[in-house]
Structure 1
Amino acid sequence: MYRTTPPVIRREDYRPAEFLIDQADLRFELDAGQTLVEAELSLRRNPAAPRGDGDLHLDGEQLELLDLTLDGRRLPPAEYRVDEHALVVRRVPDRFRLRTRVQIHPSANTALEGLYVSGDMLCTQCEAEGFRRITYFLDRPDVMSRYRVTLVADPARYPVLLSNGNPAGTEELADGRRLARWDDPFPKPSYLFAVVAGDLALVEDRFVTASGREIPLRIFVEPGNRDKCDHAMRSLKAAMRWDETRYGREYDLDLFMIVAVSHFNMGAMENKGLNVFNDKFVLARPDTATDADFAHIEGVVAHEYFHNWTGNRITCRDWFQLSLKEGFTVYRDQEFSADQGSRGVKRIEDVRLLRSRQFPEDAGPMAHPVRPDSYIEINNFYTATVYEKGAELVRMQAGLLGPERFRKGTDLYFERFDGQAVTTDDFVACMEQAGGLDLTQFRRWYAQAGTPVLECADHYDADAGTYTLEIRQHTPATPGQADKQPLHIPFAVGLLDAQGRDLPLRLAGESAASEPTAAGVCTRMLELRAPVERFTFVGLAARPVPSLLRGFSAPVRLRYPYSDADLTFLMAHDSDGFNRWDAAQTLAQRLLLRMVEEEALSVPDSFVEAFRQALKEAPVDASADTQADPALLAEVLTLPSEGYLADQMDCVDVDGIHRARETLAATLGALLREDLLAVYERHWQPGAEAGDYDLSPAAAGRRALRNCVLGYLGQAPDAGIVALAQRQFDTANNMTDVIAALRVLLEMPVDVAGDAGERALAAFYRRWSQEQLVLDKWFALQAQSSRPDTLARVKGLMKHPQFSLANPNRVRALIGAFASGNPLRFHAEDGAGYGFLADRILELDPLNPQIAARLLHPMTRWRRYDPGRQALMQRQLERILEVDGLSSDVYEVVSRSLGKDEG
């Protein structure tokens, strides 16, 4: 097993850096095989840190030290020490200049941290601790330095040379190489450093700031991809304008750049002035990218740009504060996307992601607070808890303060901490001061893991005309946190009358004249603080139907004894789009879980009729924008996923969930065939040219509704439905419709569709074999298939010439899609899926530990399954843990999953 248990890093052990680096002058002589990096650092002792042993400890990994001087004097070996993690210079003065010269090997860097090769280019990824693979440095976020960078390379191989900040000139050297200088005037931590070198195509535009400055905007891509950058550029300009309008934040450098790379462990990186992106979040044309891809590009481009202020100008004191930048910035990109499209649909998408990824994380062995207390490997804490739950914490504060006071709070935050590395407590303190609120209890959200459960009960007093709501809060125990304290929870409530109309709300003790409900306020933001809270509403002539947790005002699990009739009523009438969708989800979830328990249970007529009524709300023609929102309707009509249903069960019934969901979908497809066909045909627009593709929210919503309907029809197919799906596949002018049709054809029974699915799959490959991002979709569709031979097909695809373990996108598209996106086949009773994943983890770990660790997550909740599957998963996890030399990334995930290490 792992011979030396890696050390645990604890938040309570934080100490300020003993030294600071005011200026870093770096020179790179770039080459894929070996790159020389010369660093001259201006250091001084940190007056805010206690004096240590007088030695300078610099982080460094996989570096070959060639030269070392202090204040111009070459140091003899007796005055320094080098090991595999650090350079220690003994007895340094209080202020000095240190120069190092190291050699690194980018082409051998398969972990994709530090400087590495992607295709024909060189690029960097330094968050969280990659800079130490470039040169010796104080590689921690609270050491902020100014950087001057010189890049030298062969212009035939690397004609484009980029780094952070503003360009400071180029030269042609006597030996034929080219030199480029960059100067970043803003202090930044090392994790925000970036270098890119390659033969890149350029797409350029301009943005004029609110103060009248003209900023060149440049997107660099591999040759041949220039025609896929328009949407990313539009998204960038929209994000820049939105940040000025919503937060008063103007861009600060003279130039803003994005580079798209094909090999990247993450989605994108916010390096100051030079954002490096996974190319899947930049490149898009209607024929190569789906509506979801376009939406993701818009959100990720905005997210990384917003980091310029929430992450770069103000950064984290230490990595335990990661949500300071990520939670706030996710909230900002969510709000931006909501303003660009349908706010209700965006909220549904965000909550679905939270429930499918973060709630299970909170309920499993990897549970941790938004501000963790400890870690072994920080890369394992780029999680849904830090990002998505962290965003919910910011959203709750915005809800408690209201728009005006929240803006005052953010203005205060930017003013007070610009240029500093701070903590989540510093952020909350600004909200507290600007909002005039006591958020002492709210801070527990950052410190406690787990998803709170709210148990709601009510009572209507007809004689008094009062309605009392009782809410009990409880947070389950999580690893290392058995006892939980009550939280400060914003709880938005509405009440509906028998006709589905919102009722004005007035609490007992409030004056009708002075209370804002006199103006017709129909949603109240209640604040829960005690373990049990009671709220009594007055002036109600009849018992209302409660609409609870409107807009998902807090990341909690809600328990209230709604009847099926109540849920059907809310599904039809609730003015809150999120709660309307949630009612439909709960109604479907309730039925599906009953069908899991009772295989012979028939689908109630009332459920079918509720779906029929929802279909009748579809727009009457494809161009109608005045009818019901088709995107929201598509969400309402979509059944809960198998993963979400599994999360509702104490012991996951893998086969039962799949059977129940397929049965319900097939029943709806058969009984509502004519209704579904009518909606489909009204929204089918054959023959449109690709140039006519409409990316507006209304058009995307109509595609979403049409393809939702096609999915139901495909569950109960006949020759006519096969032909309909084939027609869409053959004639659609956009990838959204092509992929939807291909998925339906692949899942149809062979005795009905014959080889239509396989023929379509082969045609898709012939058409797109040279488009790598489209091929990812081809791999993923096969990995997610419910067919019995899926695992054998996945194993075969690993030998495909277009598959490579060195490409994280391809690994995620095949191995990740199978393990995380195909519960039926991954959790096959014989355990073959578990053995396959364990083999891949062990194969990947020496190459790219980050990706290996992230692929493990489907097995981390092994205790949720039946004894047979538990034993099979446990055996594979223990097999992984027994391997000598396991990375700290994988070790931490496996050991915590087995309960052998809780950090």
Structure 2
Amino acid sequence: MPALKEIFRKDYQAPDFWVTDVSLKFVLSPNATLVTTELKLSKNTETTSRTLVLNGTEHSQLLSLRINDTAVALDDIQYVEHDIHLKDLQDDELAVTLSNQLDPANNSALEGLYLSNKIFCSDCEPEGFRNITYYPDRPDIMAKYTVIIIADKATCPILLSNGNLVEAKDLDNGLHQAVWHDPFPKPSYLFALVAGDLGYIEDKHIRPDGSPVQLRIYAAHNEVDKCHYALGALKRAMKWDEDRFDLVCDVDQYNIVAIHDFNGGAMENKGLNIFNAKYVLANSEIATDADFETIESIIGHEYFHNWTGNRVTCRDWFQLSLQEGLTVFRDQEFTSDLRHRGLKRIDDVKMLRAYQFPEDAGRLKHPIRPESYVEMRNFYTTTVYEKGAEVVRLYQTLLGEEGFKKGLTHYLNKFDGTAATCDDFLISMAEANHEDLSGFEHWYSQAGTPRVQVAKEITENGIKLTFKQLLCSEGSNLQPQWIPIRFALIGSEDKIIYEDTFILKSWEESITLPCKETNVALSLFRDFSAPVIVDYPYTEEELMKIAFFETDYFARWEAAQRYISELIASEQTWEEKQAKFIAPFNNLLQECRQEPSFYALFFTLPDPISIQSTTAEKDLAKIWEQRGNLIQYAAKTYEAQWLEIYQSQMIGNASARDLKNSVLNYLATLPNHEVTVAKQYEAATNMTDRMAALRASVLNNHSTAKTLLTNFLEKYKAYPSVVDKWFALQVSSPYITLEVLNHLRHHGEFNSHNPNRVRSLLGALGQNKVALYQQPQLFYPWLLDNIMMIDKINPQVAARLATPFSQLDFLKQSDQDAIRNLVKAQLANQLSTNLAEQLSKSL
């Protein structure tokens, strides 16, 4: 196990030298790319020492180094690990020139400059630039870049980098050259380079002043026809940012490139966004309705970073949520405004609870602004992103949309072109709105999901509500957090008679509502007004009243989910559970055509992990069995009605498909409707319907599932993102076996060097807790062995696959002990720092 060096936020120090200008020259070659770097630096007058640190890695071979006009002998260079330390530099203005050589073709970690399907591509966030050249690779150093790219014109006709193309010309020996200049100062992690044989589609966006922005999306020639939806999404994002926040695109050329081998989802490099191809390529044949929405969201996210992340970046990596949480919030609002705000809110909360809440409750929990880290790449987490977005949303809840916009505008104006902190954002919000937000900062520093206990009491003065917050964060100096509580009272006539927002700022506070009605239902945390767990003893009658008569979409859905979860976990007889489960269906089946997408969510039962984490029932196998039995009972009881709804939604839009496929999940549990599922698969004219049928067949263990899977792979094996779905679906089945896992692991379509394919197998297994629960001492060792294999290829991907080993609390203690002993044994081996940190913390 490598020695793990912890880095602390409190130890931040500004650099001794700032970089003002960077000139990079690349002579591209698969195994011997030559990089020449010229840096102009100036002394930071606020520090007294004079040491320049140039970060590097073992993947870069240094060939020469000059300081001003003096060559430095390579043997005289002082290294600390892989970093060059140049000490006692006396000049206040410096010019540093160096050259080094890279091997992009063998860069399987996909960090820095690498070769993917004959395409040169870079990925530099957070610390990949040091794999390209020696440089002070930290986000608070912002410089202007000029980039010269030289490559073989036949194999690399397209040469791209950040900013504006200022020159393109042919050279001798079949080479050609492109020169790009980015006029906006940026940190090194936003550097980008792409070179290869690519096609593109293009369009223009017209800014409010009438000036155009040239838009292009590049992809492999045979995939360019699948980029049109992404291009439209980019134009919608640009228009939305102008309308909602008065933020206008500041570059004249905006390029996106789709790459199949990419560690993350996408990267917001200034003017040259590089995307995982699965989040660009789409048409109805290969993409589901959900895929289209995700693509639109991620296209928007990376564009929105142009202001919240690029023009103003983070001072240090502890502040990552400053830009990621803020930009996730912005992309959520983008989707909400363009689609359906209520349904989007439900989707976001489902995601938060499925991934971030377990992270907050597990051994890898951390604040959205962590106090320390070993490997920065491990902090690209749902806590930093999704919980960070929820904290940003709290500002809007407190200040209103106009107040939030005013604060964001003030923040961007104040820190434009600089590197800021989370505190800077908080202060900007307070200054712009003339509000005292002191106390709000605890959301940034305390880990864990707050729990809010609520008590209701009928008094002679009205209804008294008492709110008490409990924190699960460690530490002796915990402080209460600001928790906005949106709530409503639904009266005896099934209408809202009172609604308000209360801000809980102390450990415990009470309010009395001037309401004389006693038979009221209390609807709490409408629109999920804060990322907390709510403890309130709802009655079944209250939950039913909220589910049917609330006007807030999230509150209705939440009440239905809670009703079903508590019913499954209750000690009632099976007959009582059946009766109470199907009681609402008469009304639901009549109303569902009015809002098909919403009722599709309404009909979808909470997943077993959600039920286990929110109720007293902890036996996951029992939950899964009872959940399935209730679905089948409702399917059989109302079979005729389900079938009539299913047939009525055969022709329609995405909303109709949502409802139809939700109904199919009920019908698929009945043996006589196995043929219905197979017919939908065969007749499908779009990926949404085909995938829904295939999923219903696999997850219900139909006899035809194997035939459909074979057909699906044969039909779509030329489309990588669809093959990923094929792998992930099988591994997500509660019926998965070790035999099937091994078959998929050694399948000809499995590629251990492609992050998407690896995640579709190992990542999907890590999320399949029903299967893991039933055979933990079979599946966890298999998963760990394969993560070890991936660690030798791509440490970043391997570390992210290790999350399940930090979330074992749902298992029996004997199984937990056995798995942790396996982890301890592996930690004795030679692991990457990325994986070693994650596994160490899981213990």
By the TM > 0.5 criterion, same fold?
A: yes
In the TM superposition, residue 826 of structure 1 has moved relative to its aligned partner by 2.6
Are 1:742 and 2:700 an aligned pair? no
- Three-state SS of the structure 2 residue aligned to 1:158 is coil
Q: Pick from 616, 631, 643: which aligns with 2:609? A: 643
Q: Pick from 515, 519, 544: which aligns with 1:568? A: 544
Is the CA contact 2:36–2:97 (under 8 Å) kept in the aligned structure 1? Answer: yes
- Partners of 1:216 and 1:393 in 2: how far apart? 35
Is the CA contact 2:66–2:72 (under 8 Å) kept in the aligned structure 1? Answer: yes
- Partners of 2:305 and 2:666 in 1: how far apart? 41
Alignment of 1:380-395 (within 5 A): 380-395=378-393
Is the CA contact 2:125–2:189 (under 8 Å) kept in the aligned structure 1? Answer: yes
Aligned to 2:508: 532
In the TM superposition, residue 588 of structure 1 has moved relative to its aligned partner by 1.0
Aligned to 1:155: 153
- Three-state SS of the structure 2 residue aligned to 1:782 is helix
In the TM superposition, residue 541 of structure 1 has moved relative to its aligned partner by 4.1
Counterpart AA for 1:586:
R
In the TM superposition, residue 598 of structure 1 has moved relative to its aligned partner by 7.6
Are 1:657 and 2:618 an aligned pair? no
Structure 1, 234-243 or 429-438: larger mean CA deviation? 429-438
Task: Please give the TM-score of this superposition, normalised by the length of structure 1.
Answer: 0.91
Aligned to 1:615: 589
Q: Pick from 663, 682, 685: which aligns with 1:730? A: 682
Counterpart AA for 2:695:
R
- Partners of 2:770 and 2:355 in 1: how far apart? 18
- Three-state SS of the structure 2 residue aligned to 1:863 is coil
Q: Pick from 476, 486, 496: which aligns with 1:492? A: 486
Task: Please give the TM-score of this superposition, normalised by the length of structure 2.
Answer: 0.98
Aligned to 2:471: 475
Is the CA contact 1:834–1:872 (under 8 Å) kept in the aligned structure 2? Answer: no
Aligned to 1:72: 69
In the TM superposition, residue 56 of structure 1 has moved relative to its aligned partner by 1.8
- Partners of 1:651 and 1:669 in 2: how far apart? 24
Aligned to 1:593: 569
Are 1:842 and 2:788 an aligned pair? yes
- Deviations for 1:375-413, whole angstroms, at most 9, x for unmatched residues? 001111111111011111110111100122211111101
In the TM superposition, residue 81 of structure 1 has moved relative to its aligned partner by 2.1
Q: Pick from 17, 20, 23: which aligns with 1:22? A: 20
- Partners of 1:477 and 1:324 in 2: how far apart? 21
Q: Pick from 351, 354, 357: which aligns with 1:353? A: 351
Are 1:708 and 2:662 an aligned pair? yes
Aligned to 1:254: 252
Alignment of 1:40-59 (within 5 A): 40-48=38-46, 50-52=47-49, 54-59=50-55
In the TM superposition, residue 599 of structure 1 has moved relative to its aligned partner by 8.9
Is the CA contact 1:159–1:199 (under 8 Å) kept in the aligned structure 2? Answer: yes
In the TM superposition, residue 84 of structure 1 has moved relative to its aligned partner by 4.6
Is the CA contact 1:829–1:869 (under 8 Å) kept in the aligned structure 2? Answer: no
- Partners of 1:256 and 1:63 in 2: how far apart? 30
Counterpart AA for 1:847:
I
- Partners of 1:380 and 1:73 in 2: how far apart? 40
In the TM superposition, residue 79 of structure 1 has moved relative to its aligned partner by 4.6
Counterpart AA for 2:545:
F
Ranges of 4+ aligned residues in structure 1 off by more than 4 Å:
597-602, 649-652
Counterpart AA for 1:683:
Q
Is the CA contact 2:452–2:470 (under 8 Å) kept in the aligned structure 1? Answer: yes
Alignment of 1:443-522 (within 5 A): 443-461=441-459, 464=461, 466-478=462-474, 481=475, 484-503=478-497, 505=498
- Three-state SS of the structure 2 residue aligned to 1:827 is helix
Counterpart AA for 2:404:
F
- Deviations for 1:72-110, whole angstroms, at most 9, x for unmatched residues? 221124652246521222432221100000001111111
Is the CA contact 1:40–1:97 (under 8 Å) kept in the aligned structure 2? Answer: yes
Are 1:811 and 2:808 an aligned pair? no
Are 1:327 and 2:329 an aligned pair? no
Residue 669 to residue 218, structure 1, CA distance change in 2 (3 Å): same
Counterpart AA for 1:58:
L
Is the CA contact 1:862–1:874 (under 8 Å) kept in the aligned structure 2? Answer: no
In the TM superposition, residue 419 of structure 1 has moved relative to its aligned partner by 0.3
Is the CA contact 1:165–1:255 (under 8 Å) kept in the aligned structure 2? Answer: yes
In the TM superposition, residue 650 of structure 1 has moved relative to its aligned partner by 7.2
- Three-state SS of the structure 1 residue aligned to 2:822 is helix
- Partners of 2:729 and 2:756 in 1: how far apart? 14
Is the CA contact 1:651–1:864 (under 8 Å) kept in the aligned structure 2? Answer: no
- Three-state SS of the structure 2 residue aligned to 1:391 is helix
Residue 655 to residue 599, structure 1, CA distance change in 2 (3 Å): farther
Is the CA contact 2:125–2:190 (under 8 Å) kept in the aligned structure 1? Answer: yes
Counterpart AA for 2:837:
E
- Three-state SS of the structure 1 residue aligned to 2:365 is coil
In the TM superposition, residue 656 of structure 1 has moved relative to its aligned partner by 1.8
In the TM superposition, residue 601 of structure 1 has moved relative to its aligned partner by 6.5
Is the CA contact 2:566–2:615 (under 8 Å) kept in the aligned structure 1? Answer: no
- Partners of 2:780 and 2:657 in 1: how far apart? 36
Aligned to 1:782: 730
Alignment of 1:651-690 (within 5 A): 652-685=618-651
- Partners of 1:646 and 1:579 in 2: how far apart? 20
In the TM superposition, residue 482 of structure 1 has moved relative to its aligned partner by 5.3
- Partners of 1:469 and 1:260 in 2: how far apart? 53
Is the CA contact 2:255–2:273 (under 8 Å) kept in the aligned structure 1? Answer: yes
In the TM superposition, residue 112 of structure 1 has moved relative to its aligned partner by 0.7
In the TM superposition, residue 156 of structure 1 has moved relative to its aligned partner by 1.0
Which runs of no fewer than 5 residues in structure 2 stay unpaired? none
Which runs of no fewer than 5 residues in structure 1 stay unpaired? 506-522, 620-626, 686-693, 899-903
- Partners of 1:406 and 1:238 in 2: how far apart? 22
Is the CA contact 2:65–2:71 (under 8 Å) kept in the aligned structure 1? Answer: yes
Are 1:873 and 2:814 an aligned pair? no
- Partners of 2:715 and 2:235 in 1: how far apart? 33
- Partners of 1:115 and 1:610 in 2: how far apart? 58
Counterpart AA for 2:808:
W
Is the CA contact 1:109–1:117 (under 8 Å) kept in the aligned structure 2? Answer: yes
Is the CA contact 1:323–1:371 (under 8 Å) kept in the aligned structure 2? Answer: yes
Counterpart AA for 2:625:
R
Are 1:605 and 2:579 an aligned pair? yes
Aligned to 1:431: 429
- Deviations for 1:328-354, whole angstroms, at most 9, x for unmatched residues? 000000000001111000000001111
- Partners of 2:674 and 2:436 in 1: how far apart? 61
- Partners of 1:552 and 1:83 in 2: how far apart? 49
Aligned to 2:808: 862
Is the CA contact 2:64–2:74 (under 8 Å) kept in the aligned structure 1? Answer: no
Alignment of 1:131-530 (within 5 A): 131-461=129-459, 464=461, 466-478=462-474, 481=475, 484-503=478-497, 505=498, 523-530=499-506
Alignment of 1:689-704 (within 5 A): 699-704=653-658
Counterpart AA for 1:495:
L
Aligned to 1:773: 721
Identity of matched residues, %: 40
- Three-state SS of the structure 2 residue aligned to 1:831 is helix
Aligned to 1:688: none
- Three-state SS of the structure 1 residue aligned to 2:200 is strand
Residue 439 to residue 131, structure 1, CA distance change in 2 (3 Å): same
Is the CA contact 2:451–2:534 (under 8 Å) kept in the aligned structure 1? Answer: yes
- Partners of 2:473 and 2:400 in 1: how far apart? 32
- Three-state SS of the structure 2 residue aligned to 1:224 is helix
- Three-state SS of the structure 1 residue aligned to 2:34 is strand
Aligned to 1:516: none
Is the CA contact 1:267–1:278 (under 8 Å) kept in the aligned structure 2? Answer: yes
Is the CA contact 2:116–2:261 (under 8 Å) kept in the aligned structure 1? Answer: yes
In the TM superposition, residue 286 of structure 1 has moved relative to its aligned partner by 0.3
Is the CA contact 2:609–2:620 (under 8 Å) kept in the aligned structure 1? Answer: no
